[in-house]
Amino acid sequence: MFNSCKEFKISEAVKNVSRFEDGEQYSTDIEERFNIPWRMEIKKKNGYFEFYLKCEKEECENRKWSIEVEFTLKLVSQNGKRLTKNGQYTFEKPIGNGWPKFISWKELENSPCIENENQKLFLLNHTVKNV
């Protein structure tokens, strides 16, 4: 059971996602929220779009830590169409949690995004509660 509720959002617009090669990944800059470093990571792997929330808090030999979170990952196209997934996780070391099969790459390429010079623009968005 969560003791307190703090909430934050991390968002970033990413161009040319449809041009990713298999195995290519993109990580956002680290953003500190409530003294904890976070980032988002996306990857094209085996025909799927992978999407993760990553806690970058360093491990400490003398002191264990854990952060229980509820999170929402959203992939939003320029025209407002969105794919949303919710999860819960307890971070105890610097690691990512999310979905290795968030959406198939074919569905992503065929999604109705506004094209701008043959570039698809997506907004990555995480909402995290109970930090």
Asked, for residue 1, whether it belongs to a domain, the answer is no
Asked, for residue 2, whether it belongs to a domain, the answer is no
Asked, for residue 102, whether it belongs to a domain, the answer is yes
Number of domains forming the structure of the chain: 1
Share the mean pLDDT of the chain: 80
Asked, for residue 21, whether it belongs to a domain, the answer is yes
84-110 confidence digits (pLDDT tens): 888 889 999 898 899 999 989 888 877
Asked, for residue 53, whether it belongs to a domain, the answer is yes
Averaged pLDDT for residues 56-80? 83
CATH value at residue 83: 2.60.210.10
Does position 126 have pLDDT exceeding 80, yes or no? no
* Residue span of the structural domain in which 59 resides: 7-129
Does position 119 have pLDDT exceeding 50, yes or no? no
| Contact assessment for residue 125 and residue 76, using Cβ atoms and an 8 Å cutoff | yes
Does position 28 have pLDDT exceeding 70, yes or no? yes
Does position 127 have pLDDT exceeding 50, yes or no? yes
